[in-house]
Each structure stands twice: as structure tokens, then as C-alpha cells.
């Protein structure tokens, strides 16, 4: 194993991706598409080298998929890594196609075994860790957990000379429709699979209003059911939030969900199952049916 490239378009989990790539014993290059501050952050995350491409004004990182793919192909790394952020995924897809790399999502760890690269990835909703062996170049979407402690060293940053971006420009940015809302909210009320139907979001709406809270959810409610915008799901692969109040309605409290709220100041859980793991993470717990508890809370708040 000689080289791994990490494709970086935002600050989230760069060090964890570097640590993942280090599992192969490779030297690690971060290809950063973003402002200089992002390149500096990547340089402190433990790679050997940072190649930095500064996007033109109002050109999103995705527009550089082809130039980045060309740079990756010229370097011919054996391993490509990106986080699950949308722009990084676009870069990874283009670079993997150019390299002819096998793409594996949800990678927890990568190592070498002779000529093969071996990937552990979460399967069956996290109940199983699946181990895959690949010969030839490999591209992984990292499902890395914690960022390791910051390093004291700083890698050199050089400018990545790349071709022209695709004709993609940001014309306008409008807050509202697609903005997450939960990321910086002081109060978040999240719904899980305990909610029976999308229409039942109407049961929760008065509580949001009474608390001045933003709506969040567990991953399946956004990803599988599509009842809430994906930007609003909380957890390891969703939003990491730090509200003053986090109220979880009908959420079991899987570790992947709780990772997103560990910085919440007060966690309150409503669940019919007294054994639900969410109660171990909650400061206050109500064992009960959310369809009874939510109207009662709204009533109490109004009084």
C-alpha cells in the first residue's frame, strides 16, 4: 500500500478519515476543495500532505468533480476516502469512476492483507460488521466515529493545479425551505419510528410551537420513510447538535442516534418501552405513549 487520498469539502471528520486511511499503512494526501482555512484544518488532521484547490466565488465544490478526478487518476492512489457529506460524495464518485475503483459505503476500518484491501463495514442496521476484501483500487465512504485527538504536527499545503470546473454556479441562497434549522437550535423535538404516520406530525406541531423548538428526527424517519427532510435527522451520519433541550419522542436511542446529541444540555425522552436505551441517556424520561404525552405537555406549557 503506498498512497491514500482523502477528499475533503468540509471540516466534519477529516481527522477520522485520515485515521481510517492510516489503517492501511499508506501515506495520506488530503485533497481539499474549499477555503484556505479548510486546507489548514486538514493539514492539522494528521495527513502527510495537503493539496488545496480554492473554488472560484460562488462555484460549489461539486463543480470540481472532473478536475479532482483527473488529479486523482494522475496520482493513482490505491485508496480513496471521503465522508458522507454530499459534495465529498460527488467528488468520490467521479474519482472512483476515473480510477476504476470499487466503491464501498459505510466503512468502519480499512487494512491491507497481502495484495488485498480489507474493509469492515456496518451492515444490517449496525447489528453485523461485514468484512470485504478488494483487490485493485478501493473508494470508501467513511462511517468513521470519533475524530481522534488533534495532532501537533502540520502537513505542508500545496496548491492543486486543476482544470476548469463544470458550469455550475450558485445563483442565490435563500434561507428556509432546505435549511436544516436543527443545527443551531436551542430546543429540538425529534420524532422516531414511534410516530405512526406522517400526518401525525400534526400532533407534534403544537409542541414545537409552544416550545419554540425545531423539528428533528431519527434517521429512518427521514431516510426510509421520507416524512422529514434529511437535513433534519440527528446522529452519527446526520446532524450533530448541542441544543439546550432535546426532546426525543418515540426514539429507541440507538448509539448512532445518541452520538448526534451527546452535547445536548438536557435530554428528555418519551417512550412506551421502559427498557428503551434512550432512557439511559436521558436526564428526564416519561414512560408513555407520545400520542397521550405530547398533548398533555402542550396543555401544561400553555397553562
Task: Write out the residues near ligand FAD by the rule CB under 6 A.
Answer: 106, 122, 125-126, 143, 192-194, 218-221, 233-238, 250-252, 254, 256-257, 260, 270-273, 276, 289-291
**Least distance from C-beta 185 to ligand FAD, angstroms?**
17
> 284 phi and psi, to 5 degrees?
-135, 135
**Least distance from C-beta 88 to ligand FAD, angstroms?**
16
**Least distance from C-beta 214 to ligand FAD, angstroms?**
16
Beta-strand (E) ranges in 168-207? Answer: 187-191
- CB count in 10 Å sphere of residue 11: 16
Residue 70 or 291: which CB sits closer to ligand FAD? Answer: 291
**Least distance from C-beta 124 to ligand FAD, angstroms?**
8
The span from the CA of 90 to the CA of 77, in Å, is: 18
Residue 165 or 260: which CB sits closer to ligand FAD? Answer: 260
Residue 53 or 270: which CB sits closer to ligand FAD? Answer: 270
**Least distance from C-beta 61 to ligand FAD, angstroms?**
22
Contact 277, 253 (CB under 8 A): yes
Instruction: For 204-220, give the DSSP string.
Output: HHHHHHHHT-EEEE-HH
Residue 21 or 270: which CB sits closer to ligand FAD? Answer: 270
Residue 143 or 214: which CB sits closer to ligand FAD? Answer: 143
**Least distance from C-beta 286 to ligand FAD, angstroms?**
9
The span from the CA of 215 to the CA of 217, in Å, is: 7
**Least distance from C-beta 114 to ligand FAD, angstroms?**
28
Residue 58 or 289: which CB sits closer to ligand FAD? Answer: 289
Contact 118, 131 (CB under 8 A): yes
Nearest residue to ligand FAD by CB is: 235
Residue with cell 490505491: 78
- Name the nearest CA neighbour of 204 among 240, 252, 250, 239: 250
Residue 202 neighbours by CB under 8 Å, 6+ apart = none
Residue 273 or 299: which CB sits closer to ligand FAD? Answer: 273
The span from the CA of 228 to the CA of 225, in Å, is: 8
The span from the CA of 235 to the CA of 220, in Å, is: 11
> What burial letters (b/e) apply to 109-134, b meaning 16+ CB within 10 Å?
bbeeeeeebbbbbbeeeeeeeeebeb
At 231, list the grid cell. 437535513
Contact 16, 28 (CB under 8 A): no
Residue 187 or 193: which CB sits closer to ligand FAD? Answer: 193
Amino acid at each position: 500500500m503506498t498512497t491514500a487520498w482523502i477528499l475533503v469539502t468540509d471540516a466534519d471528520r477529516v481527522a477520522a478519515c485520515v485515521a481510517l486511511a492510516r489503517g492501511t499503512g499508506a501515506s495520506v494526501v488530503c485533497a481539499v476543495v474549499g477555503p484556505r482555512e479548510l486546507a489548514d484544518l486538514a493539514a492539522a488532521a494528521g495527513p502527510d500532505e495537503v493539496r488545496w484547490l480554492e473554488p472560484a466565488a460562488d462555484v460549489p465544490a461539486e463543480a470540481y468533480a472532473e478536475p479532482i478526478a483527473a488529479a486523482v487518476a494522475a496520482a493513482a492512489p490505491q485508496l480513496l476516502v471521503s465522508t458522507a457529506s454530499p459534495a465529498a460524495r460527488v467528488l468520490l464518485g467521479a474519482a472512483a469512476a476515473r480510477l476504476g475503483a470499487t466503491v464501498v459505503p459505510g466503512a468502519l476500518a480499512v487494512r491491507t492483507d497481502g495484495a488485498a484491501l480489507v474493509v469492515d463495514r456496518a451492515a444490517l442496521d449496525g447489528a453485523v460488521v461485514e468484512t470485504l476484501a478488494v483487490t485493485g483500487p478501493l473508494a470508501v465512504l467513511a462511517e468513521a466515529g470519533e475524530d481522534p485527538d488533534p495532532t501537533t504536527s502540520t502537513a505542508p499545503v500545496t496548491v492543486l493545479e486543476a482544470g476548469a470546473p463544470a458550469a455550475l454556479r450558485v445563483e442565490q441562497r435563500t434561507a428556509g425551505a432546505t435549511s436544516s434549522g436543527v443545527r443551531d437550535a436551542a430546543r429540538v423535538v425529534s420524532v422516531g419510528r414511534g410516530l405512526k404516520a406522517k400526518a401525525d406530525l400534526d400532533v407534534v406541531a403544537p409542541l414545537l410551537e409552544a416550545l419554540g423548538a425545531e423539528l428533528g428526527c431519527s434517521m429512518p424517519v427521514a431516510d426510509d420513510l421520507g416524512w422529514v427532510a434529511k437535513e433534519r435527522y440527528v446522529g452519527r451520519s446526520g446532524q450533530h447538535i448541542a441544543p439546550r433541550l432535546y426532546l426525543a419522542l418515540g426514539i429507541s436511542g440507538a448509539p448512532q442516534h445518541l452520538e448526534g446529541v451527546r452535547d445536548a444540555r438536557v435530554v428528555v425522552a418519551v417512550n412506551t418501552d421502559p427498557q428503551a436505551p434512550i432512557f439511559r441517556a436521558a436526564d428526564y424520561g416519561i414512560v408513555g405513549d407520545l400520542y397521550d404525552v405530547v398533548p398533555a405537555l402542550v396543555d401544561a406549557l400553555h397553562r
